[in-house]
Amino acid sequence: MSDAYLFVSYKQAADPSRLAAYGALAVRAIEQFGGTVIARAEPGHIYEAGQSELTVLVRFNSVDEAAALYDSSTYREALAALGSGASRDVRIIPAL
């Protein structure tokens, strides 16, 4: 099994109160599914067609574990707290 990464890019500014509620629930869900938050920040540098947006990178032991998190009822609770508070691009990427 190789590692996998959950990559989340916030395309529209997130409502701060909804983002805080989502974050508290999401971190618990991520830990429950064996994930580790590697980075959560706006870019230090932007190149080519990049955007200045909040980006989160989470490491998992496998693509299946990352997908299990996203599909779980625990994570769905976090998403419900976020509601329409943000527009995001979410991807699961296998490590090399």
| Percentage above 90 pLDDT, the chain | 85
Question: What pTM value is reported for the model?
Answer: 0.91
List the strands of the sheet with 4-12, edge to edge.
36-41, 55-60, 4-12, 87-94
pLDDT mean over 7-32: 92
Q: pLDDT tens across 57-76, in order? A: 999 999 999 999 999 999 99
Range of the domain at 30: 4-43+51-94
Q: pLDDT tens across 35-61, in order? A: 999 999 999 999 999 889 999 999 999
pLDDT, residue 39, reads 97
Q: What is the CATH number of the domain that holds 17?
A: 3.30.70.100
Give the pair of three-digit tokens for residue 34. 């064996």
Count of domains in the chain?
1
